[in-house]
A and B are shown apart, each in its own frame.
Chain A
């Protein structure tokens, strides 16, 4: 475990050095993100100008939800998204060879090799929104809550990572998977709002959306004590099981890797 943190540190160092080569890109990324945040917040304010509560959520709770969504998506986007995005192409072109010949877990290397530091803007703005909204609710924060918040963020990131990776692994069997980016777009657009809004339509929808509730909706609700504390363990269990399944799927799929001729 320590070794992997160390590797992550060296990878981050290389990525940092690389991204600092393109300073202007970083600035532009941060600026566009700022505009995006502002629009999202305005949208929420407009929604709540019609009603103080929507589906049991008040304005500040939704702000917190949005903050947490941005943090979870931001962490994923910073460390893993680019790698998973290119996974189908890497499989197609035989570039997995690099990871498969190293004495390091291949999934680790393929998931966290390249980072996108521009995406950290989302993490920072998300935290600011979350903390500000939380302070507006007027409840105090203790050590236990900080620890559980960390756990909730980590498990949320794991769920999101598994949801995207699981889909991307299909490219071992299909060789081409252009649907990956639209899948991610749909996924992140669905996760932007609490999954409660879909519950009233069809039970089947609930089943389909079940894994999604663990990404942001449950973490926010658990933090807000709107779900019993036991749900924290359910959340951890869900993350562990999903990660295990995707990990097994990865190893199963590797047997289908045919590399590419030179």
Chain B
């Protein structure tokens, strides 16, 4: 039984168009032309309990809008959504007590007070019993290694420490569903890694369902077995990360190391030369002819070493989003 069900979700915004210049501004005072900006345009998916799903897409793809509909912040234009059996935008307290929305760019902690005060306030807001509060807090503090910072004012914490505190504040009521919108944004690589480890551990330990959006492919690669790709409000892909390669990559990469100098133009006959830096070259060839191309390369060039590889997921996704030919 899925905990999140989304069917044909659409969210359109009315946006008014303005002609450039002063005359355009004056005209827009009296009559405005509106058009529908399709933030989300017919998206459907189900998510089961305990799944950790990555939501990826370029800026403005509709990821955050989808999360906001799922957490009840926005009313959709059409479509049905059920989260834990609730319709999110009814904003029932029983529903709100079971999820948490963390946005990397927004904070909910009291800036001038130690984070502990915000946790206590959240305990009241979510009506968490004393014993459960203490246990959850101890567990989270230990997992995130922030024991020494609980009594330090939030404004004096580093960005990484603050993000950890934000997570504790968001998790103090032990939500069953967690929406993480770019939780690692702005963090250094070490802190990003720690955050990822925590998210993974949290998901496994508490079997909570997590939807994560991120611009960092490392987040998605390391955490999510399943990814949903959205672009221009539409769902491009929903499945295992490895499946992305099968579906979108119709090319492979031949990496060759040569024992003698070769001519770049000659290599172009085999495929598209992506990198050429003697003695190494990377050539992109169509999937279907990869083995023939490899044989050709071995036959006609002084090859010392040859590798046939799948392209990087980052590259595939970037190419999907830029609408390039994937050859």
Contact = CB atoms under 8 A, between A and B. Distances in A.
Interface of A: 3, 6-7, 10-11, 13-14, 17-18, 21, 95, 97-98, 100-104, 106, 255, 257-259, 261-262
B106 A257 contact: no
A184 B53 CA distance: 48
Contact of A14 (B71, B72, B74, B110): B110
B72 A100 contact: yes
Interface residues of B, number: 36
Given A14-B110, A18-B110, A257-B73, 9 more contacts: A14-B117, A18-B112, A18-B113, A97-B73, A98-B106, A101-B73, A103-B94, A103-B96, A103-B126
B40 to A, nearest CB: 12
Nearest to B123: A10
A261 B60 contact: yes
Nearest to A258: B13
Contacts of A102: 96, 125-126
Interface stretch (B97-105, B129-137, B200-208, B235-243): B97-105
B64 interface: yes
A97 B68 contact: yes
Contact of A262 (B99, B100, B120, B181): B181
Contact of A98 (B74, B75, B108): B108
B101 A262 contact: no
A262 B64 contact: yes
Contact of A101 (B64, B101, B104, B124): B101
Please name the 4 residue pairs, one residue from A and one from B, whose CB atoms are nearest each other, closest first.
A103-B93, A103-B96, A262-B64, A18-B112
Contact of A103 (B64, B104, B108, B125): B125
Nearest to A105: B93
B91 interface: yes
Contacts of B152: none
A259 B39 CA distance: 13
Nearest to B63: A262
Given A95-B106, A258-B13, A259-B68, A104 B112 contact: no
B74 A262 contact: no
B12 to A, nearest CB: 11
A3 B60 CA distance: 40
Contacts of A103: 93-94, 96-97, 125-127
Interface string B155-198: 00000000000000000000000000110000000000000000
Nearest to A255: B75
Contacts of A7: 124-125
Given A103-B96, A259-B73, A261-B60, A14 B103 contact: no
B262 interface: no
Contacts of B110: 14, 18
Interface in B64-95: 64-65, 68, 71-75, 91, 93-94
A44 B130 CA distance: 54
B121 interface: yes
Interface of B: 13, 60, 64-65, 68, 71-75, 91, 93-94, 96-97, 99-101, 103-106, 108, 110, 112-113, 117-118, 120-121, 124-127, 181-182
Contacts of A262: 64, 103-105, 181-182
Nearest to A98: B108
B113 A14 contact: yes
Contacts of A97: 68, 73, 101, 103, 106
B117 A17 contact: yes
5 contacts: A3-B127, A97-B103, A102-B96, A103-B93, A262-B105
Given A7-B125, A104-B125, A258 B74 contact: yes
A81 B208 CA distance: 39
A11 B121 contact: yes
Contacts of A257: 73-74
A55 B59 CA distance: 65
Contacts of A17: 113, 117
A10 B94 CA distance: 22
A262 B113 CA distance: 25
A98 B121 CA distance: 13
Contacts of A13: 117
Contacts of B108: 98
B73 A21 contact: no
Nearest to B118: A14
Contacts of B91: 100, 106
Contacts of B60: 261
A7 B127 CA distance: 10
Contacts of B99: 101
Contacts of B181: 262
A259 B126 contact: no
Nearest to A14: B117
B124 A10 contact: yes
Nearest to B104: A262
A13 B71 CA distance: 29
A3 B94 CA distance: 15
